[in-house]
Structure 1
Amino acid sequence: MTATVPEAHPAGPGTHPAGRRERKKQRTRKALVDAAFRLFAEKGFDATTVEEIADAVDVSSRTFFRYFASKEDVALTFQEEQHAAMLAALNDRPADEPIMTAVRRAVVGIAVACERGELGFSADRFECMMTLTADSDTLLAGSLEHAQKKQVLITRAIADRMGVDPAGDLRPHVVASTVIAAFHAAAEAVATGTLGYSTLSEAADAAFQLLEEGVNYPTER
């Protein structure tokens, strides 16, 4: 009988262990995020500690910090995914669409996907994040800081659609700043409930419609 020799993996003998290590890291990271959001939902963001999140996964705080810089970083994984999805959606809009119309449809489309649980995390987690941000000044500040850091990417995406160089054209910077402000205005409207909006997609659609129509309003006398 002739023995069958296992076929060598084309990437070399170290590939399989490295793949297993990477999968283990991904599982640990996901477990930390899941545990964090369970605790955030039960206790609130401010009352939850890094130690509690680590304990829930049976790892040390030191291990936690290999994956995340802080508990704010865990919570904002959602915003990171949302931002990446929005840029991809904007890139997919028709090239001849006016810039604010394209942004409106991209942002509202992603908001709807979040509300339906279609962006890789559940609708419940999205709702939890909205509540956490409204209830925690610390997390709100982190969310605003995160958005500010991403502004350069939004500016570049808008400039590319407009066919201009952001190094010499102010317009994409103004549009990007306006996009961030409009999104947070919509989120605040939902959080406070004072304007009658019940969902982020509804409030965002209204906010960006105002921008499409123009905000150079006459003074009412």
Structure 2
Amino acid sequence: MTDPERLSTREIARVAVRDRLAEVGFELFHREGFDRVTVNDLAAAAGVGRSTFLRYFTSKEDVVLGALETEGQRLAAALAARPGSEDEWTALRRGLDVIVEPYLRDPAKALALTQLILRTPALSAHSLEKQQSWRPRLVAALSARSGATELALSVRAAAALDCLNVAVELWAASDGQRDLVELLDGGFEVLRPR
């Protein structure tokens, strides 16, 4: 089997352990509050030593936000895969479907996670910081489809991410009662180039 996408048994086990540690951590944050929980608390709740825990996560913020690293890569890949006939704005909106999909698949889990992030200043700031790393990837994917300037592409990428953030915030504020896709589509429509 030479498929480069295939994970080794060791990597599958590592991902499973990391996912389990994140699940335990999220439950503890939800119950105790993010600021009251230490790395030692997380390790104890997971039944592992501190050093073992830190092999999987660099910080307690990483327990909640670690997945954001790969989300930027997935978003850029989804944008790059959009049909060349689509305008940049439509391609950006459709590319964001990969980010929205987990919210639709498990709304209760996504809502709890989103509310934890939004209600915890350290997580909220760290989340925005991680999301900033997505923009250059989006600009690179857009530049392959367009002759627009770097400034124009950077502004479009930033505006698309802001539309996502506003939609998610409004969705979370409604306790998941509002339709996230409608909110995102509405935000994109407000800024659609005329």
Distance 1:191 1:116 in 2: 13
What's the offset of the Cα at 1:36?
1.3
Encode CA deviations 1:151-178: one digit per residue, 9 max, x unaligned. 21111111112156xxx63221111221
CA distance in 2, matches of 1:184, 1:112: 11
Residue 185 of structure 1 and its aligned partner are, at CA, apart by 2.1
Unaligned segments of structure 1, at least 5 residues: 1-18, 215-221
Distance in 2, matches of 1:106 and 1:23, equals: 27
Query: Could you say what secondary structure the match of 2:34 adopts?
Result: coil
User: CA 1:112–1:152 in structure 2 vs 1: closer, same or farther (change >3 Å)?
Assistant: closer
**Among candidates 169, 188, 191, match of residue 188 of structure 1:** 169
1:200 corresponds to: 180
1:132 deviates by 0.9
User: The residue matched to 2:139 in structure 1 has which SS?
Assistant: helix
For 1:85 and 1:178, the matched residues in 2 are separated by 18
Are 2:17 and 1:36 equivalent residues in the alignment?
no
The answer as to whether partners of 1:197 and 1:203 remain within 8 angstroms in 2 is no
Long gaps (5+) in structure 2: 1-7
Distance of 1:23 and 1:169 partners within structure 2: 39
For 1:19-77, what per-residue CA distance to the aligned partner results, in whole angstroms no more than 9, with x for missing partners? Answer: 55444433321221121122223233233322222112211112222221111111113
What is the identity, as a one-letter code, of the residue corresponding to 2:182? E
Distance 1:85 1:170 in 2: 23
Asked if structure 1 preserves the Cα contact closer than 8 Å seen for 2:171 and 2:177, the reply is yes
Question: Structure 2 residue aligned with 1:127, among 111, 130, 138?
Answer: 111
Return closer, same or farther for 1:23/1:113 CA change in 2, 3 Å cut-off. closer
Q: TM-score when scaled to structure 1?
A: 0.73
Q: Which residues in structure 2 correspond to 1:150-161 (within 5 Å)?
A: 150-161=134-145
Question: What letter corresponds to residue 81 of structure 2 in structure 1?
Answer: D
Question: Aligned partners of 2:74 and 2:53: how far apart in 1?
Answer: 26
Q: Distance in 2 between matches of 1:213 and 1:206?
A: 13
Contact 1:104-1:209 within 8 A present in 2 as well: no
Partner of 1:171: 152
Query: Which residue of 1 is the match for residue 3 of structure 2?
Result: none
Q: Distance in 1 between matches of 2:179 and 2:154?
A: 28
Match of 1:113 in 2: 101
The structure whose Rg is larger is 1
CA RMSD for the aligned pairs?
2.5
What's the counterpart of residue 71 of structure 1? 60
For 2:26, the aligned partner's letter is: F
Q: Is the 8 A contact 2:82 2:91 kept in 1?
A: yes
Q: TM-score, normalised by structure 2?
A: 0.82
**Paired residue total:** 186
Identity, in percent, stands at 32
- Which residue of 106, 109, 131 corresponds with 1:147? 131
Give the C-alpha shift of residue 111 in structure 1. Answer: 4.8
Change over 3 Å in CA distance of 1:175–1:20 after alignment to 2? closer
